[in-house]
């Protein structure tokens, strides 16, 4: 295995490969809510061309893995330098206000990307028109994530939004199938399987819209009496835009219930042999005989993938999450 870790500094017009002096490289992607992150460490008295904002390009065996920009540089007393770079999704943490009507998710992404001066790559057609989406003073990435949730609820399909080597990309998860087998038949050092309603499960959603005439809030409640009886009341509270009408609020509440009213099951696996290019959002087959739900093998959606490159070795850890109201694993 060979890799290149190129740093391009536009100020000095210099390009330098840090791979020969790098001790360790870690690359992590999450399916939602955060940018792809690459960190690396090296020993050197004075970085040759390393400054905040410098472009980072990472290749493994000639394959394009990561393109991003330096955000953090740290150095300890012993002279070890640690660098953190993020891909374009980091710039979508900026807050803004948008109001969309009768628009597809890809068009929303393209408009926001244009406003933020970001590069766009392949945008798959979801086939679903979003009637309205209004957000004020909200992170751009959260606006896109909400559009993903609306699209999934309407189509029953899971789409993944990510940075593909410097280009914002939207793909259906089924078009990101990996041939990797995780579990029996592959080398793993450990796994953790968890089923919970503690971390991200709600069976009642309470939405409140300000009412200027009464000075009070109009309250809309959505719940599931079956799971409330089974789990107890787990409530999520949110304020909604003042300009939303009742139909729009009802749709938002129903979408949130469809997403949150379920048992959350996760599996984390570490010590896997590395697969260059594997990202969160891809589908991979899990087959672990000690877990009844996975004994026969099921394709799961990867929620997080972390790659580690050190001393010529490439390993990775993965997290997968299945969301299902009945708490069952889906194939």
Can you give the CATH number for the domain in which 276 is found? 2.40.30.150
According to DSSP, the residues that pair with 237 across neighbouring strands are 206
Residues 248 and 315 in one domain: no
> Percentage of the chain surpassing pLDDT 90?
57
Residues 164 and 225 in one domain: no
CB atoms inside a 10 Å sphere around CB 289:
11
Q: Residue 272: CB partners within 8 Å, gap ≥ 6? A: 182, 186, 187, 188, 315, 316, 317, 318
Q: Is residue 54 part of a domain?
A: yes
Q: Residue 37: CB partners within 8 Å, gap ≥ 6? A: 27, 28, 29, 84, 85, 86, 87
What does the alpha-carbon distance between residue 113 and residue 92 come to, in Å, rounded to a whole number? Answer: 8
Rounded to the nearest 5°, which phi and psi values hold at 176?
-125, 40
Read off the pLDDT of each residue in 276-291 and give the average, rounded to a whole number: 90
| CATH code, domain with 7 | 2.30.300.10
SS3 262: coil
217-223/204-210 β-pairing: antiparallel
**Tens digit of pLDDT for each residue in 113-126?**
999 999 999 999 99
Mark out the alpha helices in 179-278 (DSSP H runs): 225-231, 246-260
Instruction: Give yes or no for residue 30 having a pLDDT over 90.
Output: yes
What does the alpha-carbon distance between residue 153 and residue 260 come to, in Å, rounded to a whole number? Answer: 12
CA 189 to chain centre: 25
> Which of 25, 60, 86 is a domain's end point?
86
CA 52 to chain centre: 24
Residue 172 buriedness (CB in 10 A; 0-12 / 13-18 / 19+): middle
120-123/168-172 β-pairing: parallel
CA proximity to 305, closest of 12, 31, 8, 1: 31
The average confidence (pLDDT) of the chain is 89
What does the alpha-carbon distance between residue 19 and residue 244 come to, in Å, rounded to a whole number? Answer: 52
DSSP H or E segment with residue 322:
strand 313-324
Higher pLDDT, 256 or 170: 170
> What's this model's pTM, rounded to 2 decimal places?
0.84
Q: Which two tokens stand for residue 108?
A: 């929303």
Range of lowest pLDDT (29-43, 54-68, 249-263): 249-263
Instruction: Give yes or no for residue 320 having a pLDDT over 70.
Output: yes
**Number of domain units in the chain:** 4
Q: Is residue 330 part of a domain?
A: no
**Tens digit of pLDDT for each residue in 183-235?**
876 667 788 989 899 988 999 999 999 888 888 889 999 999 999 999 999 99
Residue span of the structural domain in which 229 resides: 204-260
Residues 154 and 166 in one domain: yes
Q: What is the pLDDT of residue 326?
A: 43
Q: Is residue 163 part of a domain?
A: yes
Residues 44 and 130 in one domain: no
């Amino acid at each position: 295995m060979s890799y290149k870790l190129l740093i391009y500094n536009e100020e000095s017009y210099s390009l330098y490969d840090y791979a020969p002096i790098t001790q360790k490289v870690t690359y992590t992607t999450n399916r939602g809510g955060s940018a792809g992150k690459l960190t690396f460490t090296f020993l050197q008295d004075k970085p040759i061309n390393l400054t905040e904002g410098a472009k980072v390009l990472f290749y493994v065996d000639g394959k394009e893995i990561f393109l991003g920009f330096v955000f953090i540089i740290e150095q300890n007393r012993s002279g070890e330098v640690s660098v953190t770079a993020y891909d374009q999704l980091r710039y979508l943490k900026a807050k803004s206000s948008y109001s969309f009507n009768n628009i597809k998710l890809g068009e929303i992404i393209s408009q926001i990307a244009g406003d933020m001066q970001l590069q766009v790559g392949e945008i798959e057609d979801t086939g679903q028109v979003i009637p309205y989406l209004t957000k004020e003073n909200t992170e751009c990435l959260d606006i896109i994530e909400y559009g993903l949730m609306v699209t999934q609820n309407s189509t029953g399909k899971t789409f993944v939004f990510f940075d593909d080597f410097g280009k914002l990309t939207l793909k259906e998860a089924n078009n990101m199938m990996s041939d990797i087998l995780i579990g029996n038949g592959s080398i793993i050092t450990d796994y953790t399987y968890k089923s919970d309603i503690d971390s991200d499960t709600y069976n009642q959603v309470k939405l409140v819209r300000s009412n200027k005439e009464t000075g009070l809030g109009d309250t809309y409640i959505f719940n599931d009496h079956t799971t409330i009886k089974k789990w107890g009341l787990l409530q999520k509270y949110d304020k909604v835009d003042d300009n939303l009408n009742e139909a729009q609020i009802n749709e938002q509440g129903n979408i949130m219930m469809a997403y949150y009213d379920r048992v959350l099951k996760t599996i984390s696996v570490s010590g896997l042999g590395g697969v260059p290019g594997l990202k969160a959002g891809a589908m991979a087959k899990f087959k672990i005989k000690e877990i009844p739900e996975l004994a026969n093998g099921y394709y799961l959606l990867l929620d997080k993938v972390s790659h580690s490159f050190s001393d010529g070795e490439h390993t990775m850890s993965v997290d997968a999450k299945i969301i299902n109201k009945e708490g069952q694993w889906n194939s």
